[in-house]
Amino acid sequence: MIVWKYSNSIATIAFLFLLQSCTYFETKKIPSETFLEEELKTINWNEVDTYPVFKMCENLSEKEKLKSCFVQTLTTTIYRFIASEKKPVNTTINDTIKVHFTVSKKAKLEINQLEIDSLTKAQLPKIERLIYQSIDSLQPIAPAYKRGVPVNTSFELPIVIVTN
């Protein structure tokens, strides 16, 4: 009878322990707002998953190659338009023009601001128009994406102008 009481109390303790341990397996419900807030904190909003894509870059798949092709296409096009201006200059120019632009969610390329030194503007009065024309001649076929969602992206592109 002592054995029965001893094994009965062990069984009772084990049963109570099992009942208590079930609470360890319960999942806590997290409100969707809290989950969203936590998820948004983990996203690096200064980086995109894929950069905007021009037609000539569409076969590239690596992120850095896409970025390089994007920048190279922009730079080459702007330089080509500026070089088409065959106006002689009176003094040597060594300037960096900063082109601030945005590519919208709908893959629309738009200049926000141009930073051009006044001496460069005086020597090359059509420079602004040429830069705008060059950007207008290019349109991406796809915007930048972040987590599969098209996003607006802003860039600053330095254009170095050197004349003799």
Q: Express each pLDDT in 20-79 by its tens digit.
A: 655 555 666 666 666 666 665 666 556 788 889 988 888 888 888 988 999 999 999 998
Is the pLDDT reported for residue 3 higher than 60?
Answer: no
Q: In whole angstroms, how far apart are CA 36 and each of 30, 32, 42, 44, 155?
A: 10, 6, 10, 14, 28
Contact present, 109 and 143 (Cβ < 8 Å): no
Instruction: Give the span between the Cα atoms of 141 and 112, in whole angstroms.
Output: 20
Overall average pLDDT of the 125-131 stretch: 91
Give the residue extent of every domain in the chain: 2-42, 55-162
Confidence of residue 97 (pLDDT cuts 50, 70, 90): very high
> Are 78 and 131 within 8 A, CB to CB?
yes
Flag whether the pTM goes above 0.85. no
pLDDT at 146: 86
pLDDT reported for residue 130: 92
* Average pLDDT of the residues of the chain: 81
Q: Which two three-digit tokens encode residue 26?
A: 């319960």
pLDDT-based confidence at 109, cuts 50/70/90? very high
Higher-scoring residue by pLDDT: 46, 103: 103
pLDDT at res. 6: 56
Contacts of 69 (CB under 8 A, 6+ apart): 54, 56, 57, 60
Report pLDDT for 82: 86
150 near 105, Cβ under 8 Å? Answer: yes
Report the pLDDT value the prediction gives residue 84, as an integer from 0 to 100.
Answer: 85
